[in-house]
């Protein structure tokens, strides 16, 4: 009679379902974790909220400017008025993003919000 053969040995890189073990971190992974700067949940939530708020309000701003461009040229005052409103909403978008980050809302960054209005008035008047 022949001797019983042992079960085939699994390669080390394969998972053994009969003997699960926690994966060991490699040196590169351990080093990258220690050198990475992690952000807190509050910081990430603040960034996500400010981006969502700013883009939503900026969409309204651009929509007002586009509405001003669509109106007939005989209603020039209405065209310029919609463009000015678009610029005001752009300023509100930047102010909202600054307020979410707890920064001073009166800053030079507010000038970025006027860009849709300025471009709209320039397009209406040319």
pLDDT at 111 over 90: yes
Q: What is the DSSP letter of 7?
A: P
**pTM reported for the whole predicted model:** 0.67
Find, among 28, 39, 36, 84, the residue nearest to 61 by Cα: 84
pLDDT at 82 over 60: yes
| pLDDT at residue number 28 | 60
Q: Mind giving me the DSSP string for 37-101? A: PPPPHHHHHHHHHHHHHHHHHHHHHHHHHHHHHHS-TT-HHHHHHHHHHHHHHHHHHHHHHHHHT
| pLDDT at residue number 18 | 74
pLDDT at 105 over 80: yes
Residue range 19-77, pLDDT digits in tens: 777 666 666 655 555 556 788 899 999 999 999 999 999 999 999 999 999 999 899 99
Distance CA 42, CA 44 (A): 6
Query: H or E segment at 34?
Result: helix 27-35
Tokens 């651009």 belong to 62
| Residue spans per domain, the chain | 40-125
| pLDDT at residue number 54 | 95
């Amino acid at each position: 009679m022949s001797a019983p053969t042992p079960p085939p040995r699994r390669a080390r890189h394969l998972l053994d379902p009969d003997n699960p073990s926690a994966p060991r971190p490699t040196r590169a992974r351990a080093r990258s974790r220690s050198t990475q700067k992690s952000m807190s949940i509050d910081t990430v939530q603040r960034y996500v909220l400010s981006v969502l708020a700013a883009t939503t309000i900026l969409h309204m701003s651009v929509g007002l400017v586009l509405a001003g461009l669509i109106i007939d040229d005989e209603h020039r005052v209405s065209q310029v008025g919609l463009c000015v409103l678009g610029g005001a909403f752009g300023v509100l978008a930047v102010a909202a993003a600054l307020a979410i980050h707890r920064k001073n809302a009166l800053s030079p960054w507010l000038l970025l919000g006027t860009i849709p209005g300025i471009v709209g008035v320039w397009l209406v008047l040319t």
